[in-house]
Amino acid sequence: MKYTSILILSIISLNLFTSKTLGKKMLSFGEDDAISTITKDDESALCEAIKILNKSGGTIYINTPVINFSSKCQIQLSGSTAGGLVGMKQSNDQYPVFNFKKARNDNVKSPE
């Protein structure tokens, strides 16, 4: 019984240590190659960051519930350097949404 308790405590300690270590590694992932962190509904800031991403690579972090797109800019991911977009989990347990509804509606021509 005594050895079982020690074994269980050892496993719990190992799990806590591992989760803290992995958490630090995950939080530090990409800090060196971060281009920008988008923290509000700002289509222009994202478009500018994507231009840098396409040219130099890196990571863009999206830490806002939604980015609404109009017809201001076209998003095109290209280039041969490593990079990406990372959506940060929001307080409501959801990830950021790219909403293109306004852009779609702006480009729909009314019937003549």
pLDDT at 79: 78
Region of 29 on the Ramachandran plot (φ > 0 left; ψ -120 to 50 alpha; else beta): beta
Structure tokens at 27: 């939080």
Write out the E strands in 12-104: 34-38, 58-62, 66-68, 83-87, 97-99
Task: Specify the pLDDT at position 3.
Answer: 47
Q: Which of 93, 81, 88 is nearest to 29 (CA)?
A: 88
| DSSP one-letter code for 111 | P
In this prediction, residue 102 carries a pLDDT of 85
DSSP line for 89-108: PPTTS---EEE-HHHHHHHS
Please give the chain's pLDDT, 112 residues, in tens.
Answer: 554 445 454 455 544 444 443 443 344 444 568 899 999 999 999 999 999 999 999 999 999 999 999 877 778 888 788 888 999 999 999 999 999 888 888 776 545 5
pTM, 2 dp: 0.64
Nearest to 30 by CA among 63, 76, 68: 63
Give 23's contacts (C-beta < 8 A, 6+ positions apart): none
Q: Which two tokens stand for residue 21?
A: 């270590």
pLDDT the model gives residue 20: 41
Query: What pLDDT shows up at residue 111?
Result: 53
